[in-house]
Amino acid sequence: MHRKVPAWFGPEAVGKGTAHSGNLANGLPVLISAVRDLNRTELAGESVRAALEALAVAAPSWLAAVIDIAEFADRYGPRVDGWTMPSSKTKRERLAQVFGQDALALCRAAWSDTAPVWIREIEAVALLRQVLVQTYTVRVDARGRDVVSKRDADNDGVPPGSTRLASPYDPDARWSAKGDDLFWCGYKIHLTETCHAPAEAEAEAYLRVPAPNLITDVHTTDATVPDVKATEPIQKNLTEREVKPAEHYLDSDYPSADLITAAAGQGITMVTPLLADHSPQAKAAEGFGKSAFQIGWKARQVRCPEGSTSIGWYPVTQHGRDAIVIDFARADCRPCPSRTKCTNSVRGTRMLTLRPRELHERTAAARAEQNTESWRTKYALRAGVEGTVNQALDLTGIRRARYRGLPKVRVQHAFSATALNVVRLDAWWTTDPLRKPRTSRLERLSYRLAG
């Protein structure tokens, strides 16, 4: 018989977790890639070196015809390391410019009409071109010469973190940050495991050792993918594998009003705290937040706390999502005695942005429910997934990638999750329910002598 289970979910650079009468989900915010951390100058130089190393094997004759092998061997023979670079800032900047000039010369040779097409298809060469574009700008001076200089983030712009290479040896590793003190290069992993509601666990305890929570899904992404983007694919995977949870326990990084509504339509109740109202009034805990306004959905009007009625109701699309913008008249807002509590806009009028009715009402109900003691007691179940995260770290070393590239890292995580399941099942099958699962060395010696 298929027994429905609840589930939890939360983030970490290395993993996440879920459970099935429900499902618990959580992640490790830091999964470190199997490559060195490189600053921009090191990345530029090491990318040139990686391309030269690949070409020296794949196309030695072509390479010797387009560069001075002796000069480049002297510069790129040893790996590029910040510890061995000049201490002078001027000399380091000059070295960075040399790396850029060498990268440009190599790329132009590889993409010239006379070069074999397959040269530019070598991964290290293609990555060198990408590093060149993201790190340098090229302009022509008055004499018609190319001037290569490092990009300035403020004036020249840089690629978004999701596409910015961090290493020439792992094209999928990305730099990411979480909070003010966590910064890493690598991936994220989300672990989903089954869980048992307290009542179910107590009932099973009378019969035998409670069944172990088992990992039912492993979802690995690069480090820049927000946790909220992992929720839908994980629930889809669980549904396809016929282990869809009745309840899904997640932390506050995973839900959105759209996801909660979509999951409910598939029979999944997401037990998760929604983020509070982001308006300045709500954050300051004074003035009129959105909850202070009365919404007339049928009349398509909103009444403010002072009794004024909105004059505009505009369905729009913002960031790919449906929304409704509400506008109030200046004649009502400017003389209002509570205007300073309501808005500080230059126009002097309040504007509201609402989600469609179903999403708005579901969000309001969820925020109200999560302030109750019964909801907090129920949500405490999610904390159990933190033990899975720690077990994964201790037993499998999942915090650090052993391979390069997202496909191989995903395989590593799948095997790590399988190993955890085997360990848990073995403990469950071999544990005497009448004794503690662990015995001391003295007890084991006593059993051996008695036998």
Structure confidence at residue 348 (pLDDT): 82
Average pLDDT, the chain: 85
pLDDT tens string 229-263: 999 999 999 999 999 988 999 888 899 889 999 99
Instruction: Give tens-digit pLDDT for 307-334.
Output: 999 999 999 998 888 999 999 999 999 8
Task: Please give the residue that has the higher pLDDT: either 109 or 1.
Answer: 109
Residue pair 405/171 in contact by the 8 Å Cβ criterion: yes
E strand or H helix that includes residue 241: none
- Considering the chain, what percentage of its residues have pLDDT values greater than 70? 86
Q: Of 313, 274, 273, which Cα lies nearest the Cα of 293?
A: 313
Please name the residue that has the structure tokens 């939890």: 8
pLDDT above 60 (res 335): yes
CA distance to 70, 214, 229, 289, 290, per residue, from 281 (Å):
66, 44, 28, 5, 9
| Average pLDDT estimate for 80-96 | 90
CA distances from residue 71 to 49, 76, 106, 269 in whole angstroms, order as listed: 13, 9, 14, 64
Give yes or no for residue 434 having a pLDDT over 80: no
**Burial class (CB within 10 angstroms; exposed 0-12, middle 13-18, buried 19+) of 112:** exposed
Look at residue 17 in the predicted model and tell me its pLDDT. Answer: 38
pTM above 0.85, yes or no: no
For residues 28 and 57, give the distance between their C-alpha atoms in angstroms, rounded to a whole number. Answer: 39
Kindly indicate the confidence band of residue 449, based on its pLDDT and cuts at 50, 70 and 90.
Answer: confident
CA distance 380 to 195: 12
pLDDT in tens, 349-377: 888 999 999 999 888 888 888 889 989 88
- What per-residue confidence (pLDDT) applies to 198? 59
Question: Which of 81-95, 105-119, 139-153 is modeled with the greatest confidence?
Answer: 105-119
C-alpha–C-alpha distance, residues 90 and 304, integer Å: 61
pLDDT of the residue at 25:
63
**Phi and psi angles of residue 83, each rounded to the nearest 5 degrees, phi first:** -70, -25
